[in-house]
Amino acid sequence: MTSSEGSLAGLRQRNRREVLEVVRLRGTTSRAEIAKQTGLSTTTVSTLVYDLIADEVLIELSDRSAAPGVGRPARLLTFNPRAGGVAGVHLSHDHVRVAVTDLAGELVATTVVDFDVDHEPVETLSYVAGAVRRLVAESGIRPDGVVGLGVAVSAPVMLRTHAVSVGRILPDWQGVDVAGELGRRTGLPVEVGNDANLGAIAEHRFGAAQGIDDLVYVMLSDGVGAGLVLGGQLYEGALGGAGELGHVTVVPDGFVCRCGNRGCLETVAGARALTAPLAPVLGTSATVADVVAAAAAGDAGARRVLADAGTAVGRALLPVCTVLDPALVVLGGDCAGSDALLGAVREVLARELTPLRREPVPVQTGTLGEDAEMLGAVALASRRLGH
């Protein structure tokens, strides 16, 4: 292949990816809309779509909303759900969630298991590989139809190498090549991303933030993280560490965090910070779900703990919202559904955010729940459809 031919092939591949990205974001769309969103000519779009239909990646649907008798109905495009699938994994600190979806992003098979992910990297990856193979078999999708595996990890991911930057957060994962290990074990192309970033992508594509191009997603789980979507694109920062909200100091002389610093937001709003104060009432084995349930049932102590956490989250978000001016803040994770926590975040932002805004930043709970980060991993891996 000459360099000219190689350049043309690369351009075609990029254009193909852009077409598929529009379909992914919109679910169903038309050729005209694809041309508008990508800036490609209608002729180029038609040629790419023709090839994607021939490859059985896309299918055409009739636009039944068109008025009868007014010309020929538009032909809408969407993913062919039977063409294959995508696998996604969320490696949280204390559990693993694995799923297989069709190409349209609909869940076909899923499983979740408790796991000491932080301290058992070899065992974790061995389990993930086996679970992916099992779910693919159960889904009925041909193994050769699975386009890739996306992995959400609870640590920053370096932009150039896509390696996990564990630092002081996950010392037992130092030197572990997540993508390489899972690629060898599953035979799939593997993409790795930070879980809060992928949660933001999922809520933007599938959930509460559809159609909103400037948002902050806050993941409240074992730890605390944030994902930033600006101008419709994920913002990861210079080194891939943007959004590490959980390690922003909110109590200067507070408890020591697992990162080594004092008073991080995670020490106030993370899982241990929510369950430990209520151990005398709920027991030492209480989970965040137990705390949220107790608060919903009217337990004053549980409501106070969650409200205090929400106040801390709101204050950590103040400089973020002041600088970035988002259209929406989405709360995801284990305790995002607590009205005590949600109300406290809203109150802080409404009271203390810059008065230059005419209205407070809207804050709402994500709609994808515990599946958000995993679905974001699926979205990450599905980019390979354009290859």
The per-residue pLDDT for range 117-142, each reduced to its tens digit, is 989 999 999 999 999 999 999 988 88
Does residue 19 have a pLDDT over 70? Answer: yes
DSSP SS3 for 218: strand
Query: What's the pLDDT tens digit per position in 158-169?
Result: 776 667 777 677
Residues 231 and 330 in one domain: yes
Q: What mean pLDDT comes out for the span 189-201? A: 94
Structural domain ending residue among the three candidates 79, 112, 137: 79
Check whether residue 232 and residue 268 sit in a common domain: yes
Domain end residue (candidates: 79, 102, 122): 79
Residues 174 and 229 in one domain: no
Q: Do residues 250 and 287 share a domain?
A: yes
Task: Clarify whether residues 248 and 328 are in a common domain.
Answer: yes
Please write the tens of the pLDDT for every residue from 76-98: 998 887 778 999 999 988 899 99
The continuous run of DSSP H or E covering 204 comes out as: helix 195-205
| SS3 labels along 251-318 | CCCCCECCCCCECECHHHHCHHHHHHHHHHHHCCCCCHHHHHHHHHCCCHHHHHHHHHHHHHHHHHHH
Of residues 118 and 354, more confidently modeled: 118
State the total domains in the chain: 3
Q: Could you give the count of Cα atoms lying within 13 Å of 354 in the half-sphere of its Cβ?
A: 11
**Domain span at residue 27?**
3-79
* The residue count for the chain: 387
Return the CA Rg of the chain. 22
Q: What is the pLDDT of residues 283-334, one digit of tens each?
A: 999 999 999 999 999 999 999 999 999 999 999 999 999 999 999 999 999 8
> What's this model's pTM, rounded to 2 decimal places?
0.83
Lowest-confidence segment of 152-166, 200-214, 353-367 by average pLDDT: 152-166
